[in-house]
Amino acid sequence: MPDANRTVLQGTVDLLILKTLSWGPRHGYAIARWIEETTDDVLRIEEGSLYPALYRMQKRGWIKSGWGESDIGKRIRIYSLTPSGRAELRAQSTQWELMVKAMARVLKPA
């Protein structure tokens, strides 16, 4: 069920990106690396799917972009969190934690 997987992941990817950017501005490749490292490859996502998410979040005003340089000095887009993105991160984190707790309560007795 790749489609279902993808939709579940959609919200997760947004949250991951917001969390990543909360440490500071970075480009898409760096975001992918950070997610890869911190989740120990548990959340195996196609790196390409980050970009539509980035564009969508930028449109919603959660993140903004400017231009910076890559490791070899090429022009590359750098994303950073906006105040409304920070608020969104807080809201989504809370929601996520609530859900995790609820799921844990449901699953523990089993």
Partner 1 sequence: MRHLLRTGARLFWRPAADDQVDEELREHVDMLVRRLEREGLSPDAAREAALRRFGDLATVRDECRALAHDEEDQMNRQEFWAELRQDAGYGARTLRRAPLYTTIAALTLAIGIGASTAIFSVVHAVLLRDLPYRESDRVVAIWNGYREGGALSRTAIAPPEFADVMEQNRSFDQVSAVSRSSANLTGGCTDGECEPERVVAYTVSPNLFTLLGAGAALGRTFTESDVAQGAEPVVVLSHTLWMRRFGGDSTVLGRSINVNARLRTVIGVMPATVRFPDAPIGFLRERGELWAPFSWQNNRGEERGNQYLGFLARRRPDVTLDQARVDLETISARFRTTFPSRYDQTTVKWGLDARPIREEMVGEVRRPLLVVLGAVILLMLIACANVAHLSLARGAARRQEFAVRAALGAGRMRLVRQLVTESLILGASAGALGVLIAIGATRGLVRLDPGMIPQLDATTVNGAVLAFAVLSTLFCALLVGVVPALRQSITSVHDAIRSGRGAAAQPRRRVRSMLVVAEVAMALVILVGAGLLTRSFLALQRVDPGFSPGSTLTFAVTLPRARYETAAKLVAFHEQLQPRLAAVAGVASVSAIDPLPLGGTNWSGTFHIDGQVVPPGGQDPHGEYAVALPGFVKSLGMTLVSGREFETTDGPAAPAVVIVDDRLVARHFPGQDPLGKRISQEGPTGPFATIVGVVRHVYRSGPAKEGEPQIYFPFSQHEQTPMSYAVRTTVDPLSVLRAVRTEVAALDPDLPIARVATMATLEFTSLARERFNALIFAVFAATALLLAAVGLYGVMAYLVSQRQAEIGIRLALGGGPRDVARMVIGDGMRMALIGIVLGTVASLAVARVLDGLLFGIEPTDPVTYVVIAATLAVVALLASALPARRATKADPASALRA
Instruction: Tell me: does residue 48 bind partner 1 (CB under 8 A).
Output: yes
* Helix (H) or strand (E) segment spanning residue 65: strand 63-69
Q: Quick one: which segment of 23-31, 82-90, 92-100, 101-109 binds partner 1 (CB under 8 A)?
A: 23-31
Instruction: Tell me: does residue 55 bind partner 1 (CB under 8 A).
Output: yes
- Sheet of 26-27: strands edge to edge? 26-27, 75-81, 63-69
43: left (phi over 0), alpha (psi -120 to 50) or beta: beta
Instruction: Tell me: does residue 108 bind partner 1 (CB under 8 A).
Output: no
Which residues bind to partner 1, rule: CB under 8 A?
27-29, 32, 46-49, 51-52, 55-56, 58-59, 70-72, 74-77
